[in-house]
A and B are shown apart, each in its own frame.
Chain A
Amino acid sequence: MYISRIALNAKRRETMQALVIPPLMHGAVEQSINGERQRNLWRVDWMGDKCYLLVLSGEQPDFTHLVRQFGYTDNEQGWETKDYRTFLAKLQEGDSWKFRLRANPTQSSFKEKDEGTGRGKVHAHVTQEQQRQWLIKRSEKCGFKLNEDNFGVTHTQWEKFPKSRKGAREVIIRTATFEGLLTITDIEHFTASLTTGIGRAKAYGCGLLTIAR
């Protein structure tokens, strides 16, 4: 398990495109990771005016091509990769961490059925309060506890982009970025949510939970 961070050059045309069309970024991430295909998680973070791509992968990645495509080509080492296992091993129940999660909070309807699958039709949670409740509801299963006043939605927006280059189908999702303080209650479940992500739209840059001091 590896976590990597790549500095993106947001002024480049290719990068601007990939920032608004997540399937492009997802494709580039998938290309950078060899071995058996797994669910790799990624997220784009802005720190001030600097733009970073964060990737969590099962195998050791090689971002040479991705950096050439979206990054700064002038510096030699365009990315850093760290082993995530050693970090995970240090986590303990009862610890408190600052977290950040960009997710796609949704709920499926009882009444309306989706024509394709026959299951309940999926609706996005729209208001910040709905989104907060969504995360609180999930937190127990995910192995952590949230305090009502210690976390919040820092950003939320509708995103609309084509599903593929050729297809006319559009994907419309609403993303919400959560930030705040969490307490680990169940180490096994917590490690699982760190490594496999939370919620839907994981191919579109959602679901990666990260923690920091």
Chain B
Amino acid sequence: MSTLLLRLAAPLQSWGVDAKFDRRGTQSIPTKSGVIGLVAAALGRRRDEGIDDLQSLRFGVRVDQAGDLLRDYHTAKSVKSTYVTNRYYLSDAVFLVGLQGVETLLKEIDTALRIPTFPLFLGRRSCPPEGKISLGIRTNKNLVEALQEEEWLISDWLRRKEAKYVQLPIVVEVEKETGGAYYIRDNPISFDQNHRKFGFRLVTEIEAKVVINNESRHTVQGDTTAHDPMQELRGE
């Protein structure tokens, strides 16, 4: 079992689960359906083609930078009247996504993400990704190991704005119902526009990755010294 790591960063991302009608929300982390959809687009699969192999990949997310929730107050004109919709986005977020599976499939995805067939976007058509998406395959590493071991993905100047001690939350898929696990309905079964279908999947939050951020400006610049005024008085 190996793990393919992806970096999802962009000015805007939007990961809707229950996004229907006028209010289009976003989850705080990427959804499996969103990412599998992105991978399928890279591979050049049409919407009515099967995605069973992609859906069986074990999916996990690490939050490297949570980003801010942005509301887009949006007016649209229908035939009858003007109506209002609210669309939500995550701005300036950075996520590390892991896909665990057999290496041959992961290699295929890795190549496809570098030369995608269809344009890629993060959750919504208006959210193009920033930088390279694929970080490559971590051979013989399971999902949890790969997410725990990867370096913090944000740039130095952003690091300086963050706290000295940072914990990056990690959410991964699990098979059995254990303490703390919960269901989320973003498991893609079919993207076919005639009968789109999403199932439930079980996820849990595991121990966060801890980063001691030495770049942080919150580090107190010490006024330390080697000067010891008592040393001369020792003999008395």
Contacts and interface: CB of A to CB of B under 8 A. Distances in A.
Given A83-B236, A86-B236, A87-B236, A179 B225 contact: yes
Nearest to A155: B223
Given A82-B236, A83-B236, A87-B236, A155 B229 contact: no
A48 interface: yes
A38 B84 CA distance: 74
B236 A100 contact: no
Given A87-B236, A155-B221, A98 B231 contact: no
Contact of B229 (A3, A83, A154): A3
Contact of B230 (A5, A48, A100, A155): A5
Given A211-B232, A212-B232, 11 more contacts: A47-B224, A47-B226, A48-B224, A84-B233, A100-B225, A100-B227, A154-B225, A179-B225, A212-B227, A212-B228, A213-B232
A47 B225 contact: yes
Contacts of A213: 231-232
Interface in A55-98: 80, 82-84, 86-87, 98
Interface of A: 3, 5, 45-48, 54, 80, 82-84, 86-87, 98-100, 154-155, 157, 177, 179, 210-213
Contacts of B230: 3, 5, 80, 82
Contact of B233 (A47, A48, A87, A99): A87
A105 B224 CA distance: 20
A154 B231 CA distance: 21
B179 interface: no
A127 B137 CA distance: 52
Contacts, number: 53
A47 B223 contact: no
9 contacts: A45-B225, A47-B225, A80-B230, A82-B236, A83-B233, A86-B236, A87-B236, A211-B232, A212-B231
A103 to B, nearest CB: 13
Interface residues of B, number: 14
A99 B230 CA distance: 12
Counting chain A CB atoms within 10 Å of each CB, the highest count among B222, B227, B232, B236 belongs to: B227
Contact of A87 (B221, B225, B227, B232): B232
B96 to A, nearest CB: 33
A3 B233 CA distance: 9
A113 B50 CA distance: 83
Given A46-B222, A155-B221, A98 B227 contact: yes
Contacts of A99: 227
A177 B230 CA distance: 18
Given A87-B233, A87-B236, A46 B223 contact: yes
A84 B232 CA distance: 10
A48 B229 CA distance: 15
A202 B90 CA distance: 52
